[in-house]
Amino acid sequence: MTEDGFHIELLGDHDRATFCSGVDALDRYFRERVTQDIRRRVSNCFVLLDAEKEVAGYYTFAAASIPLGELPESLAKRLPRYPSLPAGLIGRLAVDRDYQRQGLGALLVVDAVARAMRAEPAIYALVVDAKDDHAAAFYTRLGFRSFLSQPSRLFIPISEIAKRLCKSIFRGSEGQSTARDRITGRYRRGPTMSTAPRTLESAAVIILMTALIYAAG
Ligand SMILES: CC(C)(COP(=O)(O)OP(=O)(O)OC[C@H]1O[C@@H](n2cnc3c(N)ncnc32)[C@H](O)[C@@H]1OP(=O)(O)O)[C@@H](O)C(=O)NCCC(=O)NCCS
């Protein structure tokens, strides 16, 4: 849990009625269909709860595979010639309108990376379906790349996203504070980031570090 009181857990008996991401299909799925998918074991769902235990975001997670031919040659040539590779599919991901653009969508992706790293069956990459250009821009910003034949389906190898996240968390990009500043609470965001969620970054560090320690055995 972060100091802001955010917490990610498996969907259980949470109130799903008031969640509103602004995308009707994602909101309706969460209200009406997600529990059926969980019951049938075709998907899991993780929810991000705020301090009042209201759902601030969710994502679904399921096993998937990537046909080797969908990867760029530069990646494929470094992999065994299996017809497909194991993946974790983020089928749906949404953040409540009240919480968008505060780093929570990225935090949900970090959580999926950590779960993929801890999974017992090996997972090579995360896969997502971007439902529109905004979603594609969000995932591209995090380093995802399109499948060769399906531009709206994107992937990122776990090793690559873990490395990117560690770099951005621990080095900070130019002009930003260091991770230590952020963790110790001296991190300042620009004036456009309304709620300065520095504790979310600390949460991302904890989630990832736990996964890295776990992966290292
Ligand atoms: C898309 C969505 C999940 C992003 O979540 P969020 O919490 O608003 O995004 P974050 O604040 O974590 O943003 C992470 C990064 O992506 C960027 N980003 C977020 N939304 C973006 C958008 N629409 N276009 C371009 N970049 C975007 C942010 O600027 C940030 O980059 P930065 O760290 O360099 O500033 C959220 O806006 C949402 O739920 N939208 C409606 C549902 C939806 O479209 N879901 C995608 C399903 S495929």
The alpha carbon of 138 and the centre of ligand 1 are apart by a number of angstroms equal to 5
Residue among 138, 144, 182 whose CB has most ligand 1 atoms within 8 A, to mutate: 138
C-alpha to C-alpha distance for 7 and 163, rounded to whole angstroms: 24
Nearest Cα residue to atom 48 of ligand 1: 130
Tens-level pLDDT at each residue, the chain (217 residues):
665 689 999 999 999 999 999 999 999 999 999 999 999 999 999 999 999 999 999 999 999 999 999 999 999 999 999 999 999 999 999 999 999 999 999 999 999 999 999 999 999 999 999 999 999 999 999 999 999 999 999 999 999 998 887 776 555 544 444 443 443 343 333 332 334 345 556 666 667 776 666 666 5
The alpha carbon of 197 and the centre of ligand 1 are apart by a number of angstroms equal to 15
Question: With a 6 A CB cut-off, is 109 part of the ligand 1 pocket?
Answer: no
Nearest Cα residue to atom 7 of ligand 1: 105
Length of the chain: 217
Give the pLDDT of residue 1: 62
Question: With a 6 A CB cut-off, is 97 part of the ligand 1 pocket?
Answer: no
The DSSP secondary structure of 130-153, one letter per residue, reads: --SHHHHHHHHHTT-EE-SS-TTE
CATH 3.30.70.360 for the 7-215 domain, yes or no: no
Question: With a 6 A CB cut-off, is 91 part of the ligand 1 pocket?
Answer: no
The alpha carbon of 217 and the centre of ligand 1 are apart by a number of angstroms equal to 33
Backbone dihedral region for residue 103 (phi beyond 0: left; psi -120 to 50: alpha; all else: beta): left
Question: With a 6 A CB cut-off, is 135 part of the ligand 1 pocket?
Answer: yes
The alpha carbon of 80 and the centre of ligand 1 are apart by a number of angstroms equal to 34
Give the pLDDT of residue 165: 78
Question: With a 6 A CB cut-off, is 93 part of the ligand 1 pocket?
Answer: yes
Give the pLDDT of residue 158: 95
Question: With a 6 A CB cut-off, is 26 part of the ligand 1 pocket?
Answer: yes
CB 86 within 8 A of CB 179: no
Q: Which two tokens stand for residue 186?
A: 């001296």
Question: With a 6 A CB cut-off, is 23 part of the ligand 1 pocket?
Answer: yes
The alpha carbon of 102 and the centre of ligand 1 are apart by a number of angstroms equal to 9
